[in-house]
Structure 1
Amino acid sequence: MSTPRIVICDDEPDLREMVGEYLSARAFNVEMVGDVRSLKTAVDAAPVDLVILDVRMPGEDGLSALRSLRAESDLPIVMLTAADGVIDRILGLEMGADDYVGKPVDLRELEARIKAVLRRRASSVVSVAEEKQIHRFGPWTLDLDAARLSGEHGDVTITAMEFALLKVFAENRGRVLSRDQLLDLAHHRGWEPFDRSIDLRISRLRRKIESNPAKPRYIKTVRGLGYVFSDDAQSGGPKRTAY
C-alpha cells in the first residue's frame, strides 16, 4: 500500500509544523499549507488521501473550504476546531466532514482518528467493488456489470454464452452444478437438455482461463454430477473429488 498523502491546512505555523513533523515521523507523506487557496492548489496538483482542515482561518475559512471540496469530491477531511467550538463541529459533520479534533491538538488522538478515517475509506472502496459485481479468481477479474474478463495482460475476448456460463460459475463458487442447472441458470434455453455442446463451451472457457486445461484449477468436472467452480488457492478446493 502506498504512503498516504495528507495535506494540513492551518494558518498557525507552529501548529502546522508540530502536526506535520509528528505525522511525517509515522510514515505519512505530509504537505503543509497556510490558507484555503494553497490547499486547493495542493489538492489539484496530486492525489490526496486526507485533509486536516482548520475551521477558523482568515480569508476563506475551513467550513467554506469544506463545502467547496465536498461539491467536487468525497476526499476524507478531518476538521480542527476550538475546544469550545461545538457549533463548528456540528456544522462540519453536517456538511460532510469525516471527523474532527479539538484544539489544543492531542497528536496521538489525531493520529488515531486519521487512521480510523482511512480504514473506513478503504472498506468503502471494497464495498463499492462488491456492489459493482466484481468476481476475482487467481489472476482473473470478472466484471459482471461491464461483461468483461481481464487478466494480468489485459482483457480476454469471450463470447456472450461463455460469459453467461462464467457468470453462473462465479456466482455459485464451490457448488456442484449439473448440465441442466447450467442450462437453466445461464438462460440459454436455445440449448437442448443434455446438449453436450455445454461441455464444448466449458472446454473453450478452460483454454482461455486455465494455465493447464487438462488439469483445470477453476472449472472442474465432478464425475457423474456436473461441474464445480473454485479457486484452490482461496477456497481449499471443492468438497467432492474432482477430475
Structure 2
Amino acid sequence: MSIRVLLVEDDRDFRESLESFLSDAGLEVCAVGDAAGLAREMTKAPPDVVVLDLNLPGTDGLSAALTMRETSNVGIVVLTGRTEKQDRFQGLAIGVDHYLTKPTDPAELELVIRNLHRRLSGAGSTPAEAREAAPWVFHAKQWVLESPAGIPVKLTGTELQILEPLVSRPGAPVSRTELMRHAGRQDPDETGRGLDLIIFRLRRKVEKACGFALPVVSARGKGYVFAGEVIFRPE
C-alpha cells in the first residue's frame, strides 16, 4: 500500500519539484498551495502524512497544524524556511512530528516520511493517541523519563536536575536562573545558550529514543515550561 502524502507549499516551482521527486520515489502525493486546499483535501481524502510549509497565504502553517492536531492523528512534517528556535519549539509544542528547515535534501524528507508512516501504522496506538491516553512519567530515583508509550529514556545527572523542577510543576514556567541553580551550574548571562543547548540536546535525545517530542517549551521572557501531562515519582 502506498503512503498518501499531502504537500502544502505556496512556492509553485518548489512544490512541483518536490511533488515530482516524492512521486518518483513511490509515494502517492497530492500538492496544494494554501491552508484552504489543505482543509479541503483533509476532508476529501485524508492523507497518511502532511508535509507543511509555515509561510502560507491566509491561514499560516502553525495555525493549520494546530487545527489538524486537534482533529486528527495524521503525521505532520513541517518543512519551512523559518529557522528561529521559537518557531521550532512552538511547532513541537503543538504536536508536529518533525520540524525540518529548508534547504532539505528531498531524499532525507522521503526517509522522514517513510519512518513516520511506519511508526504511525505500527501495532498499538499512534503517538498522538498515546499522548492522549497516557502521561509522561518521571522516575527521579531511577534517573528515567518514561514516554507516553512506556519507553524509558535514561537521563544524565544534568538532564535529571533540569527536568525535575519542570515536571514537578507542569504547566508553570520555571525561570532560567532557577533551572541552572537546580543543576548546580553558573549561567551569568541569562540570555546565554548554556541552558538552551542542554534542553535542545535533551529534546533530540528523547525524540530519537522514543519517537515523541519532549513537551518542554520556551516561556518567552520567563524560562521554560513542561507543557504536557506528567506523573512525578520521586521514589
- Checking the alignment, whether the CA contact within 8 Å between 1:51 and 1:78 is kept in structure 2 is yes
Task: Give the drift of 1:68.
Answer: 0.7
Alignment of 1:140-219 (within 5 A): none
Per the alignment, residue 59 of structure 2 pairs with: 60
Instruction: Answer 1 or 2: higher relative contact order, Cα 8 Å, separation at least 6.
Output: 2
Residue 92 of structure 2 corresponds to residue 93 of structure 1: yes
Partner amino acid, structure 2, of 1:127: G
Per the alignment, residue 49 of structure 1 pairs with: 48
SS of the aligned residue for 1:101 comes to: strand
Partners of 1:84 and 1:95 lie apart in 2 by 17
2:124 to 127, 130, 149: 127
Change (3 A) 1:60 1:14: same
- Checking the alignment, whether the CA contact within 8 Å between 1:8 and 1:30 is kept in structure 2 is yes
Partners of 1:111 and 1:33 lie apart in 2 by 18
Task: Give the drift of 1:83.
Answer: 5.7
SS of the aligned residue for 2:31 comes to: strand
**How many residues get paired?**
126
Partners of 2:49 and 2:93 lie apart in 1 by 18
- Checking the alignment, whether the CA contact within 8 Å between 1:83 and 1:104 is kept in structure 2 is no
Partners of 2:78 and 2:46 lie apart in 1 by 19
Alignment of 1:204-243 (within 5 A): none
Per the alignment, residue 241 of structure 1 pairs with: none
Per the alignment, residue 201 of structure 2 pairs with: none
Per the alignment, residue 79 of structure 2 pairs with: 80
Task: Give the drift of 1:105.
Answer: 2.4
SS of the aligned residue for 2:7 comes to: strand
Partner amino acid, structure 2, of 1:58: P
Partners of 2:79 and 2:89 lie apart in 1 by 12
Residue 111 of structure 2 corresponds to residue 112 of structure 1: yes
SS of the aligned residue for 1:127 comes to: coil
Change (3 A) 1:128 1:80: closer
Per the alignment, residue 17 of structure 2 pairs with: 18
Per the alignment, residue 180 of structure 2 pairs with: none
Partners of 1:104 and 1:83 lie apart in 2 by 11
Per the alignment, residue 187 of structure 1 pairs with: none
SS of the aligned residue for 2:17 comes to: helix
Partner amino acid, structure 2, of 1:117: L
Q: Unaligned stretches of 5+ in structure 2?
A: 127-235
Deviation digits for residues 124-157 of structure 1 (CA, Å, limit 9, x no counterpart): xx1249xxxxxxxxxxxxxxxxxxxxxxxxxxxx
Partner amino acid, structure 1, of 2:41: A
Partners of 1:6 and 1:108 lie apart in 2 by 15
Alpha-carbon RMSD across the aligned residues, in angstroms, is 1.5
Task: Give the drift of 1:47.
Answer: 2.8
Partners of 1:110 and 1:87 lie apart in 2 by 22
Deviation digits for residues 151-179 of structure 1 (CA, Å, limit 9, x no counterpart): xxxxxxxxxxxxxxxxxxxxxxxxxxxxx
Partners of 2:3 and 2:77 lie apart in 1 by 14
Deviation digits for residues 43-83 of structure 1 (CA, Å, limit 9, x no counterpart): 11013111000011121100000011111111101001226
